[in-house]
Amino acid sequence: MKIRVLKGVRDILPTEITQWNFLHKQAGKVFSRYGYKQIIVPIIEESGLFTRSIGQQTDIVEKEMYTFLDKGNRSIALRPEATASIVRAYLEHNYSHTGLTKFFYSGPMFRGEKPQAGRNRQFYQIGVEAIGSYNPFLDAETLNLAIEYLKEIGIKNFNVLINTVGSSEDKQNFSRKLKAFLLPEKNLLCENCQSRYERNVLRILDCKSKSCKKMLKNAPKIIDCLSQESLKDFAVFQNALELLKVDYILDPYLVRGLDYYTKTVFEITHDKLGAQNTILAGGRYDNLIEQLGGPTTGAIGFACGVERLLLAQKAESFTANIASKQSIFAIGLGAGSYSRIFKIAHTLRKNSISVHLDFENKSIKAQMRQANKLNCSHVLILGDDELKDDNIIIKYMDKGTQELIKISALLEVIKRELTP
Ligand code: ATP
Ligand code: MG
């Protein structure tokens, strides 16, 4: 039997790469405007990093994390997300002495969940982390950055949802209240939520099942359980969003799946993506740095799913308007001419010109067909007759014309032709 790609994992083919690279390039451009610097963290980490940060009672740690024992019997995980790794790196390299530190990253993440449209087992995220401040103005800046990035990559039909989950004490108080509210009808919750009730009751707010949604209609709201400080921070955040003219929807039931979130949380959803419509999500994680052995430090970040960004772009019929690089097809007919064109191709490539060459001794007709298929802008034809007189034929594919020129003039002619 043929070996096929794993379930929930996919190849990203050359046809998608222009768009793919565009997404990444624009991310770097927009993020650096806000002072973010790129960081690359490993794909494997000690499993403990994630169990300690994301939380034991979360879907990721309970069901989705890919872990294995290495030869030294250490438990290693394929990273399910990057925030924990970045905080680890932040502490390991003593960034905590340098004030506000802003990182951006991109790369593959791994979660063993049920594959479906927009949900893969290996998927890619682009994200930012700003570590070193509790100021809610930073929350507004971060969310605004997310929005600016989406606009920059041609995505427009999205909704910005915000909420606060409060400090960790607020979260605990609220969890107690929510449990009390749900208790009388606990057995009407979906199976998943019945176990969430014990393990991580906040996650019930995130349940998509109709019956759970119905039960939650009159559920207590986090906002009514907040301390004065959390309330004030949330108000400052919203005021700052208004200063930046950010359109948002306050969703009092918005929560995030990982334990480390505190206070500000947000999600950006896309109108046309169906069930997996969250293209970007983030929030504050003011306890995480301390939890991983660092000083108490405020921090906030977000991550977007690259596959979902691509789907959103597609839904909006956006294609990156990037001129494809012009290229040359070089044909040598006969042994002597082939050796010569082989050398000419080398010279052109050294001058940053993209050149295709046949290696199968194909007929001129077959090679012309190939040049058309590759959308080459020019074809060079060198036969023994031309070679004898140090000439070469250059075909201008756009115009459908051709010209005999001196081989010695070729480089200059092509350079002139390819200058935009
Ligand atoms: P979801 O509710 O969609 O599972 P999440 O809360 O697990 O999202 P985060 O961990 O916050 O998501 O990840 C941020 C973003 O990464 C998501 O908004 C989504 O765009 C993307 N993402 C998360 N899991 C997957 C996946 N399995 N496949 C593709 N993209 C994903
Ligand atoms: Mg998830």
Digit-coded pLDDT (tens) for 186-241? 888 888 888 888 888 888 988 888 888 888 888 899 999 999 999 999 999 999 99
Q: Is the CB of 277 under 6 A from ligand 1?
A: no
The pLDDT score that the predictor gives to residue 206 is 84
Domain boundaries, the chain: 14-167+227-315, 327-418
Dist. CA 314–CA 298, nearest whole Å = 36
CB 212 within 8 A of CB 238: no
pLDDT at 317: 86
pLDDT at residue 279 greater than cutoff 70: yes
304 lines ligand 1 (CB under 6 A): yes
Confidence of residue 32 (pLDDT cuts 50, 70, 90): very high
Closest CA to 362 of 331, 393, 387, 385: 331
Pocket test for ligand 1, best of 6, 308, 311 (most atoms within 8 A of CB): 308
Q: How far is CA 158 from CA 29, 44, 129, 150, 406, in A?
A: 21, 33, 22, 9, 57
Please tell me the predicted confidence (pLDDT) of residue 323: 65
User: Which DSSP string corresponds to 202-259?
Assistant: GGGGG---HHHHHHTTT---GGGG--HHHHHHHHHHHHHHHHTT---EE-TT---SST
Residue 308 Cβ < 6 Å to ligand 1: yes
Check pocket membership of 111 for ligand 1, CB cut-off 6 A: yes
Angle (nearest 5°) at CA 360 between 354 and 363: 90
Q: What confidence tens digit (pLDDT) does each residue in 338-349 have? A: 999 999 999 999
Which residue's alpha carbon is at the smallest distance from atom 19 of ligand 1?
Answer: 305
* CATH number attached to the domain at 14-167+227-315: 3.30.930.10
> Mean pLDDT, to the nearest integer, of 237-255?
96
Helix (H, G, I), strand (E, B) or coil at 24: helix
Beta bridge partners of 394: 380, 403
Verify whether ligand 1 is closer than 6 Å to residue 305 (CB atom). yes
What percentage of residues in the chain have a pLDDT greater than 90? 79
Which has the closest alpha carbon to 151: 309, 277, 34?
309
What pLDDT is attached to residue 2? 94
| Separation of CA 113 and ligand 2 centre (Å) | 8
Index of the ligand 1 atom closest to the CA of residue 256: 6
Selected residue with higher pLDDT from 42 and 256:
42
User: Which residues have CB under 8 Å from 114's CB, separation 6+?
Assistant: none
Which residue in 41, 214, 240, 2 sits closest to 127, CA to CA? Answer: 41
- Total number of residues shown for the chain: 420
CA neighbours closer than 13 Å in the CB half-sphere of residue 385: 3
Superfamily of structural domain 327-418:
Anticodon-binding domain (3.40.50.800)
Q: What is the mean pLDDT of the chain?
A: 94
